[in-house]
Structure 1
Amino acid sequence: MVDKELVFQAQDESLVVISIGVANTLISYRQLSESSSESAGVLIGERRGVHIVIKKVSEPSLWDIRSRFMVDRVSKHHQKAVDDAFKNNNGEWQYLGEWHTHPEDVPRPSMTDYSSWHKNLKLLDSLILIIVGRTDFWVGKKTQGNIEVLKQV
């Protein structure tokens, strides 16, 4: 568990802040045992100028397709989480990107991850990508066709 926000910085010095609650939710889905399935959801929060603050995530549902090395978010509840957050926060909270887990200590995106992100994430605004490993996070920022790895500060 963490007791402070996690902060990551891009080369342009913009920040991505992961709230304590979100960080602890993500940590709760780590694949710590051999039988743990991958988990996934969407990131929700605010854009503050060039900075991004992640305030909430959608969590896996029974309808998502999950196995040790794969996850497919098929449940409509992920979109509902975004819609509800937008409505309940005067339109200030929005979809910011995606997260999923990997069964490795220090996660790195797979070729499947990169292919999926390039194919499916077409928003002009920057999107945040998080992979939760057993001991660490990988955080990236997709801006148009480029994916930059962010550094924790």
Structure 2
Amino acid sequence: MLNTELTFTDEFGSLLVIMPSVLKKLLGYRQLDSFSNEAAGVLIGERRESHVVVHEISEPGEGDIRRRYFVDRRGPHHQAVVNEAFARSSGRLQYLGEWHTHAEDSPSPSAMDLGTWRRHLVAQEKMVLLIVGRKKIWAAKKDAELIVPLIGV
């Protein structure tokens, strides 16, 4: 699973592709034991017409609040990673959305997750949402107020 990309699709055939290096990092934050805290960061990549490719992520760091069943991505390093990728790629790589972990095998968003995304993740473009569970990754696109789960390919 680590040497290939992870791909999801929506009902219209638009793809979300998570590159292997990103997948490896995301899986490294799984909450596999009873002492693991939630982790969170941002997704960075490119939009290719209706498709989205995730090339990089920001990772947990100083300033973030991490608990077993709660995470608050507060560290300024997340924005710094986005800014650096954007500048390095002449604007090709950009902020695409957010990821975090859940301490469950097959994750799904909590009421808090849904409310937070609806209130704070406001953009003209469709945004990507990922929740990394112990065995599966949940993915969705947010379009205005609508959050649409994606299907693994």
TM-score category, normalised to shorter length: over 0.9
1:5 aligned partner: 5
SS of 1:53's equivalent?
strand
Unaligned stretches of 5+ residues in structure 1: none
Normalised TM-score (structure 2): 0.98
Opposite residue 114 of structure 1, the aligned amino acid is: L
Identity %: 47
**How far apart, CA to CA, are the structure 2 residues paired with 1:124 and 1:86?**
18
**How far apart, CA to CA, are the structure 2 residues paired with 1:79 and 1:12?**
31
1:110 aligned partner: 110
2:150 aligned partner: 150
SS of 1:25's equivalent?
helix
What per-residue deviation string (whole Å, max 9, x for no partner) do you get for residues 51-91 of structure 1?
00000000000321000000001100000000000000111
SS of 2:84's equivalent?
helix
1:35 aligned partner: 35
**How far apart, CA to CA, are the structure 1 residues paired with 2:119 and 2:108?**
18
**How far apart, CA to CA, are the structure 2 residues paired with 1:134 and 1:125?**
29
2:120 aligned partner: 120
1:21 aligned partner: 21
**How far has the Cα of 1:116 moved from its partner?**
0.2
**How far apart, CA to CA, are the structure 2 residues paired with 1:72 and 1:59?**
12
Unaligned stretches of 5+ residues in structure 2: none
Q: How does 1:42-57 map to 2 (within 5 A)?
A: 42-57=42-57
SS of 1:27's equivalent?
helix
**How far has the Cα of 1:30 moved from its partner?**
0.1
**Stretches of 4+ aligned residues off by more than 6 angstroms:** none
Normalised TM-score (structure 1): 0.98
**How far apart, CA to CA, are the structure 2 residues paired with 1:11 and 1:82?**
29
**How far has the Cα of 1:12 moved from its partner?**
1.4
Opposite residue 140 of structure 1, the aligned amino acid is: A
Kindly indicate whether residue 122 of structure 2 is the aligned counterpart of residue 140 of structure 1: no
1:89 aligned partner: 89
**How far apart, CA to CA, are the structure 2 residues paired with 1:63 and 1:118?**
23
**How far apart, CA to CA, are the structure 1 residues paired with 2:57 and 2:124?**
21
Q: What number of residue pairs does the alignment pair up?
A: 153
Opposite residue 103 of structure 2, the aligned amino acid is: P
